[in-house]
Amino acid sequence: MTAKKERIFYYDALRAFAIIAVIICHVDMFFGPLTSQTQVIAQMTFHDIGRIGVPIFLMISGALLLNRDYPDLGQFLKKRFARIIYPFIFWIILILGQLYLYHYSPSYLWKVFIGEPSITWYFWTLIGIYLFIPVINTFINEYGEKGIKYFLAIWFITMVLKTFNSYPLWQYFDLNMFAGYVGYPILGYWLSTKKFNMSDAKVCIMGLVTLIISLSVFVYLNYIGSDWINLIYQNIPIIFMGSGLFLFVKYLDNLHKFDSIKDNFIGKAIVSLSVCSYGMYFSHVIVVKFLSYHNPHSHLLFPVMFALTIFLSWLLPYILSKIPYVKTISGV
């Protein structure tokens, strides 16, 4: 009998935060009318915190999948793709069905499928990353930390150029193998294994300070509508935000700060959110669309709408995972 693999709690904590962060980015309509500068900044800060979600998801993937032994390439791809493709097919049918009932056009439904006006872009990004994981994994196995630093250095350069909307510098200077989202899994693996020459407490504080400063920069640039920075997921502030949070949570765990909650309701809720996170990534689209038709447009009721969105987005895949033969497509 194979022993059950022990869960790493800080991965669960990061993944639970990441799915809540993703939902944060899509509940803006539940804010009441923004009537003051303070409300604008508060809403913008709340939304920008949500931007950390996608990088964290990708960083966790790298921490879990890289520097592993994959003797059978076909089995690796089959296993990884089965875990993301079957739930995608199931949820996209439900998402498109809901939009069809709401009388959206066929052309809009197609765009949702390919991820243009929808969160489904992440699925297609993940497909590309999983195709590249075996290549990166072999590279890391061969060259170790030096190879990782080499890759991350070039990736960081491309992100600097993208931040200032300067990539590519010229047509034939092609760094696309290093550019884009693929750097996040490698960054996540590196941070999960990196040994710092300082105490765990100092690294924890360093992560928190990095998170706060980079988030402040991100919110400020977003607030002034800066036209010299690309405020999506491929820019320097986002990289530091993700890195800061990753280190902060990891070293909180190293310092045993989570020990008091791991076995109580809070810890179990965190693990459940983590386990259901992929299903929630899709289910929250349905929930947000439904609740948008019952929007109270109230600042006071926003916390209720936000909490309700998270709860229903968790409840749908959780219930489906309890139904025989449905668990494999529920995203749990």
Residue 2 has pLDDT above 50, yes or no: no
Residue 4 has pLDDT above 80, yes or no: no
The C-alpha torsion from 245 through 246 and 247 to 248, rounded to 10°, is: 40
Average model confidence (pLDDT) for the chain? 90
pLDDT at residue number 164: 86
Q: Read off the DSSP letter of residue 292.
A: G
- Report the pLDDT averaged over residues 191-206: 94
pLDDT at residue number 270: 95
Contact yes or no for 136/182 (Cβ under 8 A): yes
**More confident site: 96 or 221:** 96
Residue 1 has pLDDT above 50, yes or no: no
Q: Which of the residue ranges 35-49, 191-205, 212-226 has the most confident prediction, judged by mean pLDDT?
A: 191-205
pLDDT at residue number 3: 46
In Å, what is the CA distance from 248 to each residue of 11, 184, 188, 245, 274? 12, 17, 13, 5, 18
| Closest among 67, 6, 27, 48 to 231, alpha carbons compared | 48
In Å, what is the CA distance from 146 to each residue of 67, 140, 151, 157, 197? 13, 9, 9, 17, 17
How far is Cα 110 from Cα 96, in angstroms, rounded to an integer? 9
- Report the pLDDT averaged over residues 32-45: 80
How far is Cα 129 from Cα 181, in angstroms, rounded to an integer? 8
Single pTM value for the model: 0.92
pLDDT at residue number 59: 96
Contact yes or no for 164/226 (Cβ under 8 A): no
pLDDT at residue number 5: 65
pLDDT at residue number 110: 94
DSSP code per residue over 145-206: HHHHHHHHHHHHHHHHHHHTT--SSSTT---TTTSGGGHHHHHHHHHHH---SS-HHHHHHH
**Amino acid in the structure at residue 108:** Y
How far is Cα 249 from Cα 253, in angstroms, rounded to an integer? 6
pLDDT digits (tens, 9 = 90+) for 294-319: 888 787 788 899 999 999 999 999 99
Q: Tell me which of 58-67, 115-124, 247-256 is least confident.
A: 115-124
230 pLDDT band, cuts 50/70/90, is: low
pLDDT digits (tens, 9 = 90+) for 139-181: 999 999 999 999 999 999 999 988 888 888 888 888 888 888 9
